[in-house]
Structure 1
Amino acid sequence: MRKSLFLAFLIGNCSALFAQQFGGHPPSTRWRQVNTDSVRVIFPAGLERSGKEVAGIIHRIGQQPQGLLGNRLRKISIVLQPNTTISNGYVGLGPWRSEFYLTPPQNSFQLGSLQWEQSLALHEYRHVEQYANFRKGISKLAYILFGEQAQDLVNSAAVPNWFFEGDAVYQETILSPQGRGRVPAFFNDYRSLWAGKKQYSWMKLRNGSLRDFVPDHYRLGYMMVAYGREKYGEDIWQKITSDAVRFRGLFYPLQRAVKKHTGEGYSQFRQLALEKFSQPFNDSNRTTVDEWAAEQKHFSGNAEFPQWLDDHTLVYVKSSYKQIPAFVKKDIVTGEESRLRIKDVSIDATFSLRNGKIVYAAYEPDIRWSWHNYSVIKWLDVASNEQRTLTRRTQLFAPDISEDGNTIVAVKVEPGANPELQLISSADGSLLRSFPNPDTLFYTFPKFAGNNTVITAVRNNAGEMALGSVDLGSGNMKYLTPFSHNVIGFPAAHKDTIVFTASEGTLDRLFMITGSQLYRLQPEQASGFTGQYQAQVAYGQYTYSAFTAAGDLLQLGRISANNIIPVDAKVFTAPLSAQGVPEIAQNKYKPVTGMASDSAMPVSHYSKGFRLFNIHSWRPFVDDPDYTISVVGENVLNTLQSEVYFNYNNNEKNKEVGLNFTYAQLFPWIRLGSNFIMDRPFDYNNSLLYFNEWNTYAGLSIPLNFSKGRSLRSLNFGTDIAWKKQYVQGMYKDTFDTEGFAYIRPYVSFVNQVQTARMHILPRWGQNIQLSYNRAVSRLDANQFLATGYWYFPGLAPTHNLVFNTSFQKRDTLRNYIFSSSFPFSRGYNGVNYPEMWKLGVNYHIPLLYPDFGIGNIVYFMRVRANLFYDHTNGSFHNKGVRYSNELRSYGTEVYFDTKWWNQHNVTFGFRYSRLQDGALQGLGANQWEFIMPVNLLGAR
């Protein structure tokens, strides 16, 4: 039930690996807009219905007196992204915009069953309201001085992320007939902690852990917001946040505001908020599943989607904080477990198994366009471990294979079109048949029940769900349960028996249909605090995955009269539980979803050049020895990034002014830039001289994404043509030839790596190769070539890494011009630009401690790790026709601290000790100590 480990990695890291989806649409994309006084909704042609619906919901949100954070509104641009298989959305400052990823999730238990555009609009627009009303006091001053990114930084320092997300979840709940605040699975995380007797500190709950399961800030925030509104009124958070963003009380402004407006100390406030939700779940609810979780010292791992291979063998997806997801096979008699295959990169752990054949949907990005990615069908033979890719460049989800093994059913989700159930051939992936969808249903987790029927959970336009049966001969749908806002999912069928999970009251429970009789399947060892999911029945047995604080635990049992209880279908039409929140139970606010059509809203053309130079921030950046202030801009469609900057280098005491532009509307990307450096020092005959330097460049860049299967893989190559001119100052200004010259600098960057689990420091297998070449092409002869490679291998333990670094650089010896060097010199030495250099570095990364310890809600230590290294650099040069070589060798250790600052900003810093074997060459002592700050503290987000 947890977000897959890959998805967390994908969202957190792929943007950096694959250029942040910059310029991610083909230039042929035609953009349209719905432009109102409060929002501009931008979308590709064909999505007019979605654009109107989002604009209409936002218009109606503004008419609701649901306890706004203030009366300030700020118009925002929302870009609808229909071609990504990831379900997500965000609102951002710097630039001020929002993006909705429109493909709905298959799993309705996680985010609810409302229409996906409605859920996104309800949740994300609350962030718009927050930012609009948080520009006050010191936050407003930061905006005036440094722009939108400064407001973002100061707001996040004043108001914790739990409030931003908890308040948004509260809005999606109070202004809709469902929302996450009425969905039982949303509360599983904290209930599993209470069941497992996990007593974590407040800072651990805020910052998480690398070795223990800690719920995210959405859930924490919802409970805190709900408690505050219930006890102190719906306007309490307006009062608290208004003081906090003004920094009334410079230190701990939100804590001070809570004390001022509630009379409760902050620690008391949060304790009472958690106690309010934990009280109904006491020791009387605990079962052996909960006891197992309590016995686990740390997170054990997930066993998801268990399915029967035969009467004594299960296959499921296993993952942990140390292991990436893999298919495993387990003999339930002997307990013996064996791994079949690492699962290809996927959005979730879903798969289906019949007759020894596995099918599942895997993630594949488009090679060129980063806003386009696909969900393709994989076929795996359990006996031979042979895997095939059946479809390419498709958006097919939740596949299931028929009992005869010849046919696969999957859900097709295509931008602007109704979802479809499709039958495809398991032999070659060809389309056999599509079924009409006159009721515009959204299908989730379809399953064959025999070769002529498909069982599927469906949701309608009102966000209500039911379990349906599709006759494959006629295409007709029969509903097995009534429609309601109770979530239904994970159906499975065996002969005449259907099992599925559905919400009932405060929990998600297992249900079973045999013939026409509905039963509640009540496992003896089910958790009393959380739900049961992903059940399968066969051979008179059942299996399912139980949600616990130590992982999704595999459960087994036999079906008997003792554990199946006849129930009436009315159980699904019971009102949703408010989960203990009176304001939600009262339904005092009118839902803004499911109302009249917004078809009257006008749609017009959106120009790609609209506000192309969109200046949004003035950004200071400190990365010693460089101190920089930049004016940065980016348009809403993310096709032009611009920067004008001033930099001071503390080593050389030089000043630099420059500008850079990257335009990605076309392919390849176009890069332009120019800079002027003043007062660069150089040594001439033991005299210190100064010169100025003017550089300008134009270039093309081609970023490509070849991720596929089990690897994340990117290739970026291009070239710049540049012009450089130097101006020597002082008495020697006529001594040197300073006429400008042109040069080219082609480059290639290749990254290939496997997925990483939460506790992995680095990929356990991967390569990072960088090639660059500078060559003068006018007036003079000068060149330089650099090749650098990092080679990642597994260490002795799953969380260890062995990394080799190889580098080679060669330049001309004419000295007409010497290009600056990026050669990774042996650690501890001063870098020297020899005419020819090579390096071999060996690194062994190991975790030392997982402190899960914080100080004053300022800094939190998640991990302490070490790197043992050895560097060997050889630099050679010629003097009077004789070739000389210098060996510069060092070994030592680096100790890094992986931390979070202010409960949300990841920062890594460390210390390095280098033992120099050849330090006398540079007049250095044998022992060298350095402070390492690879991530800038002020810029960490």
Structure 2
Amino acid sequence: MFKRSVLLIMGSCLGIGSIQTAYAQAFGGNPPSIKWNQVNTPAARVIFPKGMDSSGQRVANIVQQLNRTMMPTIGYKQKQINIVLQNQLLTTNGYVGLAPFRSEFYLVPAQNNFQLGTLPIADQLAIHEFRHVQQFNNYDVGLTRILHVLFGEGGQQIANSFSIPNWFDEGDAVYNETLMSNQGRGRLPYFFNGYRAIWAAGKNYNWMKLRNGSYQDYVPDWYPTGYMLTAYGRQKFGAQVWKGVTHDAATFKHLFYPFQTSFKQHTKQEYSSFRGEALNYFKQQLVTPNMQKAAEAYKPNQHFIATTEYPAYVDDSTLIYQKTSYKHRPAFIIRRGNREKVIRLADINADNYFNYNNGQIVYVARRPDVRWGYREYNDIKLIDVKTGNQRRVTARTKYFSPALSADNKTIVAVHVPPSGAYELHIIDVASGKVLQRVPNVGHYYYTYPKFYNNHQIVSAIRNTAGEMSVALIDLKTGENQYLTAWGMSPKGFTTVHRDTVYFTATSGLNDKLYAVNVPDHQLYELQNDSLHSFVGNYEPAVGKSKIAWVSFSAYGYQIHELPKQALQLKAVNTLPKLPEFGINALHQDTSADLLADVQNENLPVKKYSKLHHPFNFHSLIPYLDDPDYTLSLTGNNILNTFQSDLSLTYNRNEGYKQISFTTLYGALYPYLFASASYTFDRRRYFLDQRRNTIEANWNESNVQGGLEFPFNLSRGRNYTNITYLSSLSYTVTDVQSLFSKAIPDNTYLTNAITFSNQVAKPRQNIYPHLAQIITVNYRNTVNSLQAHQLLTSGTFYFPGFLANHSIVVSLAYQQHDRNYSFFSNELSFSRGYTSDNLYRLQKAGINYSFPIAYPDAGFGNIVYLLRLRGNLFYDHTHGRDFYTNGNTFKADFNSAGAELFFDTQWLNENPISFGIRYTRLLNDDLFGNNGRNRITLILPLSIL
């Protein structure tokens, strides 16, 4: 059967989460109605949907004009990159990948202005992601270059993963966005909150834990780690230091610990001492004694508790918020006093934002397009707090940050269409219809809008330069009253209480709470001793006599409350400039803020063909999908609509070898695919009249073509996919005359349907608590032979006795005709046995999986053990076949045993899970070795 490869994401991204991987693999994800244009420069070909010329030109101009300026600190090698601008997604991200060498920018700005900053998203992506392009170009040297020649771009990525740590790639790119602009994450306190929190709590994790993370503790990712090390390195050793370090590391000038050894040679300092020195340098600036004192409220050895966000007052003793933990899915919670009650589990969404008013919760839930993977929607959902009942207000819409009016009859939300013409929409709660589109006279991007009254909206707004203000917006005219001065300090999380607007703004070294009086526009900073003790202050909520907000901690976002009378209002006129956290090199460098000097030149725009360079073979890749082991030369075109694979496969069940070529075209609906293969040494066992085993061996050639219909039905709290495949195959066999009737040439149809459904999996859950994967595959000849094979299988996941335990039940049934054996055995046999392609096979298995320990320990920066987990299993397979005299063969193949799995990270960034299995065979292994006890090494499905 046709086996589709995937586009490998082996590179670096903007980094606001893991969602980018799924979208970066969205094969054939854009509808054919989208026409593509390009701007072609020596450094980059920028490809974009027709009508997005301004974004395409802007990205091309930034790359072209800043490319030479950025080169001296990383190297002068240049290979053109293809950059694809995607405007159908609602995810803020971007990546540069190898295998193939390409980049994608997702051009929807984030609502959270503190997370990535407020620079125009195309500008930020251009200066961040193109730095990755320069990195990859200059890492292609020495031994890395040899592996590139031998194994393609995938070979380069493997070499880079062994030689250059991902903290450097992302830290250097964040440094570049900070240097080249007047903002960047290196100037945002929010970016450092994770480190502030763990340091304030006295959690001085060792280097391997900082690099590899944990299943039980919060650990910041490699972005802030990388920025602090990269920035401090440039501050101490000069702007050129990392160029030499990475060049020698990528060449493997030193085979073992190439980066660390290269660093020592270029700086004359031990790598380990530099790490400690750099982190301590930032720790002294980021953590105050007050923060350390506030963290003393938690237990000394406390692990991650939960994240609680967006508090909203029902009354002064009752709060509603959203809660997420490592063990449980996100849920809306109502807390009266100290007692929590779940209102409802939250639907899948990109963040935890919601708005509450008078018994109703409104939020958006993410919903992908049924067919096109690069298109998605945010539907508005409304929850009744008393009953927990939820209903959908809008469908197939692109809304962010909805908020209810005082009477709960209307909703204001930010509308983000693919065109980038952002608007505020007023939506009728009862019908979901748009009552009003507020004119956007300033071409602003709105974040966290709230009703001020029936005629005006309050919102934090961004202009096209990245500056922000809090504004009062007239619903009819769209005219703005600016309640705060414009500036590069991020602002957001607005809430309205009477004539006062509360919000968060970046102020110097921290994110603080502010209030602005609407009638006179007077700005106040909220002050209290405890407010200065927390790591950030976000998402304010105001009750009758209390105020609540959240701050970050080593144990998740935590809610705080104070009486209003405990707060002091300090009148201020302006906000301080963004800090540089002691990195003076940022403003001393001649490249500082060069983004402001980029000219929007009118570059030539041409049509881009969807089938440009269709084969584009880029990597030689191993796939391990037992019982098939494959080495594949893989190709993808730039728009990811055409895939090609030239493969060599070994099948462990039958021992055959296969050479194949497959293609898949996904720009239409359905997918179109074709393949050709030649298989050596297929085998099957027959039983003669004396019940002796006779082995048949043959070779076969096959051509195949067909259609594939993918359906993404994910919505609500479930990820759901259905794929239907239909193909026609023609096979010619080369077999001994004795078996020519049993194994003749044939033409057959394959019809297969796969259904998968699962709920979201919290971090510590080994498997989803509820999930189903069901496959039905029917193959039958369309000639006089009338041969067939039916395979059905299902895997069902259930919660175990404790939160992180799982019960997994597997069922399978396979049957082929009595006279012919065209079709290979694809049923997963009972563990421990050697399988055979019998006439009828029935399989049932049960597993109980559970965590054993979270060691959080490693060795030599080589391997790090995050979790030990166990699995107890029992398998039952019943086989039935026929002897040549017509008698029936029946046998049971039962086994039981235990598996021990090691969830590890290698070289501080590559996750690999492997295990050891002990199997006790409860019946004889009729087709294999003697003995009842088996010990097996369980290898990972894919080392990539």
What is the TM-score when the length of structure 1 is the normalising length? 0.95
1:98 match: secondary structure:
strand
Across the aligned residues of Structure 1 and Structure 2, the Cα RMSD in angstroms comes to 2.1
Q: 1:426 matched to which residue of 2?
A: 429
Structure 1 counterpart of 2:871, one-letter code:
N
Q: 1:486 matched to which residue of 2?
A: 489
Closer, same or farther: CA 540–66 of 1 in aligned 2, 3 Å: farther
Q: 1:476 matched to which residue of 2?
A: 479
Q: 1:876 matched to which residue of 2?
A: 880
1:725 and 2:738 matched? no
1:581 aligns with one of 574, 578, 583 = 583
Q: 2:206 matched to which residue of 1?
A: 201
Q: 2:779 matched to which residue of 1?
A: 774
1:414 match: secondary structure:
coil
1:852-867 correspondence to structure 2 within 5 Å: 852-867=856-871
1:329-478 correspondence to structure 2 within 5 Å: 329-331=334-336, 334-478=337-481
Structure 1 counterpart of 2:378, one-letter code:
S
Q: 2:514 matched to which residue of 1?
A: 511
**Aligned 8 A contact 2:112 2:492 in 1:** yes
Structure 2: how far apart are the matches of 1:93 and 1:148? 6
Query: Runs of 5+ in structure 2 lacking a partner?
Result: 1-14
2:262 aligns with one of 254, 257, 261 = 257
* Greater CA drift, 907-916 or 162-171: 907-916
Structure 1: how far apart are the matches of 2:139 and 2:530? 48
Structure 1: how far apart are the matches of 2:599 and 2:355? 38
1:518 match: secondary structure:
strand
2:841 aligns with one of 820, 837, 855 = 837
Deviation at 1:876, TM superposition (A): 2.6
1:274-285 correspondence to structure 2 within 5 Å: 274-281=279-286, 284-285=289-290
Structure 1: how far apart are the matches of 2:738 and 2:100? 45
* Greater CA drift, 511-520 or 839-848: 511-520
Structure 2: how far apart are the matches of 1:419 and 1:599? 25
Structure 1: how far apart are the matches of 2:822 and 2:629? 25
* Cα shift readout 1:209-240 (whole Å, capped 9, x = no counterpart): 11111101010000010111011110000010
Q: 1:660 matched to which residue of 2?
A: 662
1:526 aligns with one of 528, 531, 537 = 531
1:824 and 2:828 matched? yes
Q: 1:713 matched to which residue of 2?
A: 720
* Cα shift readout 1:867-887 (whole Å, capped 9, x = no counterpart): 111112222334555555322
Structure 2 counterpart of 1:936, one-letter code:
S
Closer, same or farther: CA 623–843 of 1 in aligned 2, 3 Å: closer
**Aligned 8 A contact 1:287 1:526 in 2:** no
Deviation at 1:797, TM superposition (A): 1.4
**Aligned 8 A contact 2:412 2:426 in 1:** yes
1:24-39 correspondence to structure 2 within 5 Å: 24-39=29-44
2:610 aligns with one of 597, 608, 611 = 608
1:832 match: secondary structure:
coil
**Aligned 8 A contact 1:470 1:476 in 2:** yes
1:124-203 correspondence to structure 2 within 5 Å: 124-203=129-208
Structure 2 counterpart of 1:460, one-letter code:
N
Closer, same or farther: CA 463–209 of 1 in aligned 2, 3 Å: same
Closer, same or farther: CA 876–628 of 1 in aligned 2, 3 Å: closer
**Aligned 8 A contact 1:771 1:786 in 2:** yes
Closer, same or farther: CA 683–313 of 1 in aligned 2, 3 Å: closer
Structure 1: how far apart are the matches of 2:532 and 2:769? 36
* Greater CA drift, 634-643 or 687-696: 687-696
Deviation at 1:652, TM superposition (A): 6.0
1:743 aligns with one of 744, 748, 752 = 748
Closer, same or farther: CA 920–369 of 1 in aligned 2, 3 Å: closer
1:759 and 2:764 matched? yes
* Cα shift readout 1:866-911 (whole Å, capped 9, x = no counterpart): 1111112222334555555322222211111111111111111101
**Aligned 8 A contact 1:288 1:525 in 2:** no
Structure 2: how far apart are the matches of 1:238 and 1:471? 52
Deviation at 1:682, TM superposition (A): 5.1
Q: Percent identity?
A: 40
Structure 2: how far apart are the matches of 1:363 and 1:735? 56
* Cα shift readout 1:695-740 (whole Å, capped 9, x = no counterpart): 11111101110001111100001111111111136xx589667652
1:927 aligns with one of 926, 933, 936 = 933
**Aligned 8 A contact 1:296 1:550 in 2:** no
Deviation at 1:417, TM superposition (A): 3.4
Q: 1:695 matched to which residue of 2?
A: 702
Structure 2: how far apart are the matches of 1:134 and 1:287? 41
**Aligned 8 A contact 2:507 2:577 in 1:** no
Closer, same or farther: CA 883–170 of 1 in aligned 2, 3 Å: same
**Aligned 8 A contact 1:717 1:747 in 2:** yes
Q: 2:3 matched to which residue of 1?
A: none
1:677 match: secondary structure:
strand
2:285 match: secondary structure:
coil
1:114 aligns with one of 113, 119, 135 = 119
1:203 match: secondary structure:
helix
Q: 2:570 matched to which residue of 1?
A: 566
Query: Runs of 5+ in structure 1 lacking a partner?
Result: 1-5
Structure 1 counterpart of 2:467, one-letter code:
E
Structure 2 counterpart of 1:693, one-letter code:
E
Q: 1:3 matched to which residue of 2?
A: none
**Aligned 8 A contact 1:293 1:548 in 2:** no
Structure 2 counterpart of 1:928, one-letter code:
R
* Greater CA drift, 802-811 or 683-692: 683-692
Structure 1: how far apart are the matches of 2:482 and 2:705? 62
Deviation at 1:620, TM superposition (A): 4.5
Deviation at 1:76, TM superposition (A): 0.7
Closer, same or farther: CA 625–892 of 1 in aligned 2, 3 Å: closer
* Cα shift readout 1:492-533 (whole Å, capped 9, x = no counterpart): 011122211000101100111235332211244336362110
Structure 2: how far apart are the matches of 1:24 and 1:183? 34
Structure 2 counterpart of 1:143, one-letter code:
H
**Aligned 8 A contact 1:545 1:552 in 2:** yes
1:368 match: secondary structure:
coil
1:215 and 2:190 matched? no
What is the TM-score when the length of structure 2 is the normalising length? 0.94
Deviation at 1:293, TM superposition (A): 4.6
Q: 2:10 matched to which residue of 1?
A: none
2:77 aligns with one of 65, 72, 78 = 72
Q: 2:797 matched to which residue of 1?
A: 792
Closer, same or farther: CA 392–235 of 1 in aligned 2, 3 Å: same
Deviation at 1:936, TM superposition (A): 3.1
2:639 aligns with one of 633, 637, 640 = 637
Structure 2: how far apart are the matches of 1:769 and 1:690? 32
Structure 2 counterpart of 1:489, one-letter code:
G
Closer, same or farther: CA 809–682 of 1 in aligned 2, 3 Å: closer
1:90 and 2:92 matched? no
Closer, same or farther: CA 65–918 of 1 in aligned 2, 3 Å: closer
1:290-329 correspondence to structure 2 within 5 Å: 290-293=295-298, 295=300, 297-329=302-334
Deviation at 1:449, TM superposition (A): 2.0
Structure 2: how far apart are the matches of 1:734 and 1:350? 67
Closer, same or farther: CA 917–681 of 1 in aligned 2, 3 Å: closer
Deviation at 1:593, TM superposition (A): 3.0
Closer, same or farther: CA 293–10 of 1 in aligned 2, 3 Å: farther
Closer, same or farther: CA 169–49 of 1 in aligned 2, 3 Å: same
Structure 1: how far apart are the matches of 2:805 and 2:696? 49
Q: 2:852 matched to which residue of 1?
A: 848
Closer, same or farther: CA 505–282 of 1 in aligned 2, 3 Å: closer
* Cα shift readout 1:326-364 (whole Å, capped 9, x = no counterpart): 000001xx3111000000000000000011111101100
Structure 2: how far apart are the matches of 1:737 and 1:688? 12
